[in-house]
Amino acid sequence: MNILSLCYWRMCYSNCSLLCVKNPEYKNKTLLNQTLQGSVNNILKYKNLQTSASGSPRNTIGINVKRYYHENLPQIVIRRAWSSTPQIFYRKPNDFGNAASRPQTRLGYKPKSLEDFDLLYKMTKDKFISKKLPKDVNPCGVFANNELDLEEVDVYGFDYDYTLACYKPNLHDLLYNLGRDRLIKRFKYPENISQLEYIPGFAVRGLHYDIEKGLLLKLDSFLQIQLGSVYRGLTKIPDVEVLKLYKNRILPIAYVEGQSKNYQPNAKAKMVQLADLFSVPEMCLLCNVAEYFEKNHIDYNPEILFHDIKASVQSCHPVMHEIVMKDVGEYIERNSMLPAYFQKLVNAGKKLFLVTNSPFAFVNRGMTLLAGEKWREYFDVIIVKARKPKFFTDESRPIRLYDEKTNSNVWDRVSRLDKGKIYYEVKW
């Protein structure tokens, strides 16, 4: 008999009597034990698990009672006769039925403001940090819900950007500044925008941006808007206004998804997601410029602003590549364990491949820093400029062979992928 089953019985059979320790007749410990034993018997009748008076048979629960106080509410601990470990805490009946009579959270009241939720988060975090792990548990271990035998995995695939190559924070500043300058020079945006600086930590990967409404927001896995996380520019939007704009907290999947089931563009989709870390400085620039327009009462179209900034930042990637290649150590974190990891996989008979959207020269410079001059020997297949995610969905675009000496493609048909060669995908 465990906590879950007792709680289940309590919810299903509300007519089962529970103890109220404030009742004067329970001051007698013997009477209290007997009454509690009877209450458990009433519960167990519904599961055909009767306890006996002796407390010794297989399905018998021996009861010891102690009084506990938590947030000024009396509780009783039920213990098994063969174990000193508490199994469940019982409170008086009113504490179960009346929501107002028990504390809603660790705060002692229902949180209403963001400050309340921040405090609740900190209290919960501190509680779990204070818990001590058993001595035989590795605090650096990784635990998964599903069991996976890596011996059965024969092929390991890697991306380059933010997978093998972990960039330092100054890369975001670089990409932001390049995009901002391009926005002014190419699209003739106001010169005062040059004073808008990158804000580290403002946007994170996984957020959504509503192109039509010009809002940055957070959605959960059920496409439900997380109130308190909606911004226009750098200004938080009140919950009332958010509900007025969207009519409902849960958004239709057609409004959010950028592609339909057959991977074709969905005309009704009005949202994009920050799917990679390169999009973080882009979104920060977008919110900075929108905030500038709002504060200076400049009329603008959110969709046009989005596409202008997206074009500006993405067109700066070749420039960013050139700057990083001149001093890769300034922008890429070194990882001395990477070559040993690759070698371990190779020695185990695994096949390795690398598929990245970045050009070969850029990848080669970074991988040389990370894994040495002979980094290509670890990989069975290397594909650059893959244009993911379309690389995985488009069927009509062929793969071409890259010639390092001439820095161009080879016209031969590619019918197989060989080790030691560099491939890239055709851009129509």
**117 CB-contact burial (10 Å; exposed 0-12 / middle 13-18 / buried 19+):** middle
DSSP per residue, 241-307: HHHHHHSSSBPPHHHH-SB-TTS-B-TT--EEE--STTHHHHHHHHHHHHHHHHHTT----HHHHHH
Q: How far is CA 104 from CA 99, 101, 108, 120, 341, in A?
A: 8, 9, 6, 11, 49
DSSP state of 193: G
175 close to 314: Cβ distance less than 8 angstroms: no
Q: Could you give the angle at which helices 360-371 and 338-347 cross, rounded to 10 degrees?
A: 90
| Measured distance CA(328)–CA(334) in Å, rounded | 10
Selected catalytic residue, list 95, 159, 276, 380:
159
| Active-site hit among 116, 118, 154, 161 | 161
* CA 86, chain centre distance (Å): 35
CA pair distance 182, 179, nearest whole angstrom: 5
Kindly state the tokens that stand for 234: 């750098």
Determine whether 308 is an active site residue: no
Q: Residues 220, 223, 389, 392: what is their CA dihedral angle, to the nearest 10 degrees?
A: 110
Closest CA to 291 of 236, 227, 245: 236
Q: Could you confirm whether 159 is annotated as catalytic?
A: yes
Residues serving a catalytic function are 159, 161
